[in-house]
Structure 1
Amino acid sequence: MSTRLVDQITPTADALIPRAIACSNGLTVTVLPYGGRIQSIKLHGQELTLSQADPAFYLTDSAALGASVGRYANRIANAAYTDSSGATWPLNASQPPHCLHGGAQGFAQRVWTVLEHSADSLLLELVSLNGDQGFPGTLTVRQLLRVVDTLDAKDQPAGELQLCFTASTDAETVVNLTNHCYFNLAPQQTVEALAAHQLELMAEQYLAVDASGIPLPDAFRPVAGHQFDFRSAKAVGPVCRQTADLPHGLDHCFVYPVVAKSPAQDTKDARDTIPLRARLRYSSGGSIGDSTRTLELRSTQPGVQVYVGTYLGSPFAPFQGICLEAQNFPDAPNRADFPSARLLPGELYQQQIFYRFS
């Protein structure tokens, strides 16, 4: 049985016990029930995401490191939306005047219930009650995290972390779930190393936003001829900055074709059914002791929010990690021209996010 709301927001010691899952190709992942957080991702012993060894750190983390984000990831403008009946739902303004990542007590600040745990998989559940952070409907969310042996683009051994989200509701609501890991694939996870990462995004468009991160009325813009054109791999460094045209650095949603139907969750090697959205690579160069690590992101979601960690704080530094947040578009509940975020009773929300490391 799921924990009550009071238990979800008052974590016990058990919520901070890491749950480890692994595969034989050398990928090991640890997860905390608090926030459904991916605490660590290691390939052959090398850390690939910004991580802290002390689980208590995450109780006061404001950057959503590794967190399962919801009920609605990203921003909803002016912390309100109108449903199909015309009713308006005021939400928690966690980034005034907007609602960011589901509110101040969103899913990243909740204790998820561990339903099942095996050597290579972990099943978590969270029940978000009607009125939670202002959202209507009681929402039951399950997240299956699984680590599998697979192959990279060159058919070489790789390990893949598969995140499979499902959700159901008893009243019309909106849902947008994602993971918020900050990746840095270098052996020494420095700011300079992140700047040298090569990023490739399989996107023809991005969403232009205002100074507060809300998509503009004419949001769809081509990446061609723009600094956001990552269709061919290039260094992350030039967008790790704050300027007049990038007040928050790169923190934008890139647009992908909508997947008509989510593949079945029991597909262990979904290399040909889950679309490739992004590729991140770090190579130290040189000869002796050189290091190359690659992350391939596949997802059924229509967008990937790319955030270069502009506001990371101690013990980390700004621009030390990059988030590749597969998700629906920001402010979709208020935009008829965006993919629908609405979930009705009897429907099943189902989205997959796969991280393949080699």
Structure 2
Amino acid sequence: MNALIDAQRLAQQLAPTALTPHAISCSGGLTVTVLPYGGRVQSIKLHGQELTLSQADPAFYLTDSAALGASVGRYANRIANAAYQDSKGVNWPLSASQPPHCLHGGAQGFAQRVWTVVEHSADSLLLELISPNGDQGFPGTLRVQQRLQVVDSIDSQGRPGGELQLSFTASTDAETVVNLTNHCYFNLAPQQTVEALAAHQLELMADQYLAVDECGIPLPDAVRSVNEHEFDFRAPKAVGPLCRQNADLPHGLDHCFVNRFVVRTTKNPLPLQARLSYGSGAAQRTLELRSSQPGLQVYVSTYLSKPFASFQGICLEAQNFPDAPNRADFPSAVLRPGELYQQQICYRFS
């Protein structure tokens, strides 16, 4: 079916405000635009320059299959064979959105939902989503809130700019699993071309990564050292050599890196997990990512399609490990009644 017709029909079914852009900004020059549909970060601009792959027409996102800028859940990334077993031994079949596996919470995950705008001010936006019991197969009614706030900041090199702070909270009335993140595709170049992305410099504060099978599911002995491996980004290097597909990288770079557990301080309460930069001197643009999450999925947009192209953007998805609900050796993704899920992700631009 024609994508335009699909979008028109879906738009007719949604509340008129679902595609209303909500802008927040700070005096440091950072402006972020968010859509209630998918809780999506539609645009991030620093001093007027776009830093994430974006489309001006909000209706575009109604038929977007790449989760551009979306808040993904109930479980970001993959759950093997679209099923997991809870602590009582009950098996929960899930929506196989990437057959035979569950990807980003199912075919109708949080990226396809209209989030409620609870509060909106000049620099802050509070969104809420209620995911009912059985949603995409997941047990328990989940109440999720996400606050997006922009503040003035100084990066680690002393340069001024702005920071986008994402704070997720969630509660449930029955045992379930939760893993929430943002899915922006970053390209910091003035002309956001494939060639420009290849020239970006990436640094990851990770000594290990998770090895995966051809479907992106972690292997039994998944945790591997980055020593003497092309995934060693402990010193900055170009993204370009990993923007490819071959037998070793059937999906290109689309792997979870294990973050170092850096002691938090009053000055930097969240550990630095990644630094992405483009250009040099006064024209350089830099993104520093800090998060409370144990993993960072790095994806070089192998499967982006028109109006974008493969390898035109890079996702830096702070999150729990893929398939953690099926892995006792991974950080737990379980949320129980009376508990509060809390995670923070901060993108600092300069």
TM-score if structure 2 supplies the norm length? 0.95
- In the alignment, what sits opposite 1:266? none
- In the alignment, what sits opposite 1:348? 340
Q: Deviations over 1:84-134 (max 9, x none)?
A: 000000000000000000000000000000000000000000000000000
**SS of 1:305's equivalent?**
strand
Residues 1:102 and 1:259: Cα distance change in structure 2 (over 3 Å): farther
Quick one: distance in 2 between partners of 1:197 and 1:91?
Answer: 37
**SS of 1:204's equivalent?**
strand
Letter in 1 for 2:301: G
Counterpart contact for 1:204–1:231, Cα < 8 Å? yes
How far the C-alpha of 1:205 sits from its partner, in A, is 0.1
**SS of 2:168's equivalent?**
strand
- In the alignment, what sits opposite 2:207? 204
- In the alignment, what sits opposite 2:83? 80
Identity %: 79
Residues 1:217 and 1:10: Cα distance change in structure 2 (over 3 Å): farther
Quick one: distance in 2 between partners of 1:79 and 1:115?
Answer: 32
- In the alignment, what sits opposite 1:174? 177
How far the C-alpha of 1:12 sits from its partner, in A, is 2.2
Quick one: distance in 2 between partners of 1:324 and 1:316?
Answer: 18
- In the alignment, what sits opposite 1:309? 301
Q: How does 1:1-358 map to 2 (within 5 A)?
A: 10-257=13-260, 272-283=268-279, 291-358=283-350
Quick one: distance in 1 between partners of 2:72 and 2:257?
Answer: 18
Q: Which runs of 5+ in 2 are unaligned?
A: 1-9
Letter in 1 for 2:320: N
How far the C-alpha of 1:158 sits from its partner, in A, is 1.6
How many residues align structurally?
A: 341
Quick one: distance in 1 between partners of 2:263 and 2:56?
Answer: 40
Quick one: distance in 2 between partners of 1:150 and 1:124?
Answer: 23
Q: Deviations over 1:181-238 (max 9, x none)?
A: 0000000000000000000000000000000000000000000100000000000000
Letter in 2 for 1:228: F
Counterpart contact for 1:258–1:301, Cα < 8 Å? no
Counterpart contact for 1:207–1:255, Cα < 8 Å? yes
Q: Which runs of 5+ in 1 are unaligned?
A: 1-6, 264-269
Structure 1 ranges of 4+ moved more than 3 A: 7-10, 257-261
How far the C-alpha of 1:150 sits from its partner, in A, is 1.3
How far the C-alpha of 1:154 sits from its partner, in A, is 1.9
More displaced stretch, 87-96 vs 154-163: 154-163
Counterpart contact for 2:263–2:271, Cα < 8 Å? no
Counterpart contact for 1:70–1:101, Cα < 8 Å? yes
Residues 1:259 and 1:78: Cα distance change in structure 2 (over 3 Å): farther
Letter in 1 for 2:132: L
Residues 1:125 and 1:24: Cα distance change in structure 2 (over 3 Å): same
Counterpart contact for 1:8–1:112, Cα < 8 Å? no
Quick one: distance in 1 between partners of 2:139 and 2:252?
Answer: 33
Quick one: distance in 2 between partners of 1:145 and 1:29?
Answer: 9
**SS of 2:136's equivalent?**
helix
Residues 1:63 and 1:228: Cα distance change in structure 2 (over 3 Å): same
- In the alignment, what sits opposite 2:7? none
How far the C-alpha of 1:9 sits from its partner, in A, is 11
Quick one: distance in 1 between partners of 2:192 and 2:198?
Answer: 11
